């Protein structure tokens, strides 16, 4: 009775508060004087980008979007543009964190590439992979362990991609960690967009929050799961092929450390040499749009900022030598 009484009267600390506390402790050490502004960005409404659907009739949407004041891009778009299926029945654009495009751009898909999207659902990046215009992948495998999320991926493909192209996308629901054993070394390009602490979601939403007490073990195991998924992605890549690893977390334990461990394991256990690419040209190209962290040891990290409230988004490219 004593224990149940105590449990009943102890107020539960919201998961968002636990997340913020955890970030205050860890990210203030990592980001130092930058942390207060990143923190403010995380706690404010994020900015979106509109991924235009090349397969729909775009003329009027582009005009509508161009007419909008860029600083008020999304809210204006929501008020003024009634999104409706075009004559082909396809939707015109997909709203997503604009920083989510960076890992897809880093993958640099070329015409004829065999591409694997190992953790694909709900499908924002899959959709972006299919929007690369003339560089449409010949064969796109989109996988996600979650059957319910894979259903959303199917739905998105149906809403945005014409049937003949959609049919060339194979959607599977395997445990991505097993992919290496299923079809080793067959892909030119592999995207490994892993589950992570989804920092923005964790400080804003109680629903499905990874900082909930009952998910502590799952959260602590994330870097291990991420490493296993990245290893599977590496093993799925052809020699000469490329892997992009991404998270929407600021945590070095889920970012650079995973890369370092994977490069080491690839070499020592599989005799595979992985080269980490320098992506600093991305910083130069996109510095007006995104706020990049200048001290990231490997890969690039987009920091939320009140004037450019995208991310967090970490991405790192590895080439299989």
Residues found near ligand SAM in the complex (CB under 6 A): 100, 119-125, 143-146, 149, 175-177, 193, 195
C-beta closer to ligand SAM: residue 195 or 252: 195
- Contact (CB, 8 A) for 166 and 130: no
**Tokens standing for residue 244:** 């992009």
Torsions phi, psi of 225, nearest 5?
-60, -40
What positions carry a catalytic annotation?
248
What tokens appear for 78 in the block? 């929501």
Per-residue tokens: 261 = 């461990």
Q: In this structure, are residues 138 and 112 in contact, taking their beta carbons and an 8 Å threshold?
A: yes
Nearer to ligand SAM, 28 or 146 (CB): 146
Nearer to ligand SAM, 41 or 195 (CB): 195
- Shortest separation between residue 245's beta carbon and ligand SAM, angstroms: 11
Q: Report the alpha-carbon distance of residue 238 to residue 84 in Å, rounded.
A: 41
Least distance (Å) from ligand SAM to the CB of residue 177? 5
- Closer of 193 and 242 to ligand SAM (Cβ): 193
Min dist CB 149 to ligand SAM, Å, is 4
Nearest C-alpha neighbor of 69 from the set 80, 84, 59, 58: 80
DSSP track, 211-264:
TSGGGHHHHHTHHHHHHHHHHHHHHHEEEEEEEEEEES---TTTTHHHHHHHHH
Query: In angstroms, what is the minimal distance from the CB of 186 to ligand SAM?
Result: 17
């Amino acid at each position: 009775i004593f224990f149940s009484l105590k449990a009943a009267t102890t107020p539960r600390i919201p998961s968002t508060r636990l997340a913020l506390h955890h970030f205050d402790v860890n990210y203030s050490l990592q980001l130092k004087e930058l942390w207060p502004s990143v923190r403010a960005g995380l706690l404010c409404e994020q900015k979106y980008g509109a991924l235009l659907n090349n397969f729909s009739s775009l003329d009027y949407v582009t005009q509508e979007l161009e007419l909008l004041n860029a600083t008020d891009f999304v809210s204006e778009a929501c008020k003024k543009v009634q999104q409706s299926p075009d004559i082909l029945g396809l939707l015109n654009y997909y709203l997503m964190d604009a920083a989510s495009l960076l890992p897809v751009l880093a993958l640099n898909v070329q015409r004829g590439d065999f591409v694997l999207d190992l953790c694909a659902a709900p499908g924002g990046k899959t959709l972006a992979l299919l929007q690369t215009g003339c560089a449409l992948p010949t064969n796109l495998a989109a996988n996600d362990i979650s059957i319910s999320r894979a259903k959303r991926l199917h739905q998105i493909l149906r809403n945005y991609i014409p049937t003949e192209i959609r049919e060339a996308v194979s959607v599977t629901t395997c445990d991505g960690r097993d992919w290496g054993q299923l079809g080793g070394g067959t892909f030119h390009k592999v995207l490994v967009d892993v589950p992570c602490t989804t920092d923005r979601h964790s400080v804003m939403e109680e629903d499905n929050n990874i900082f909930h007490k009952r998910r502590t073990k799952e959260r602590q195991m994330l870097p291990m799961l991420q490493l296993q998924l990245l290893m599977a992605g590496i093993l799925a890549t052809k020699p000469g092929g490329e892997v992009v690893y991404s998270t929407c977390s600021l945590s070095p334990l889920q970012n650079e450390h995973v890369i370092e461990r994977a490069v080491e394991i690839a070499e020592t256990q599989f005799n595979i040499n992985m080269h980490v690419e320098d992506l600093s040209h991305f910083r130069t190209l996109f510095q007006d749009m995104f706020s990049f962290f200048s001290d990231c040891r490997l890969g690039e990290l987009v920091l939320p900022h009140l004037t450019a409230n995208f991310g967090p988004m970490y991405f790192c490219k590895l080439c299989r030598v």
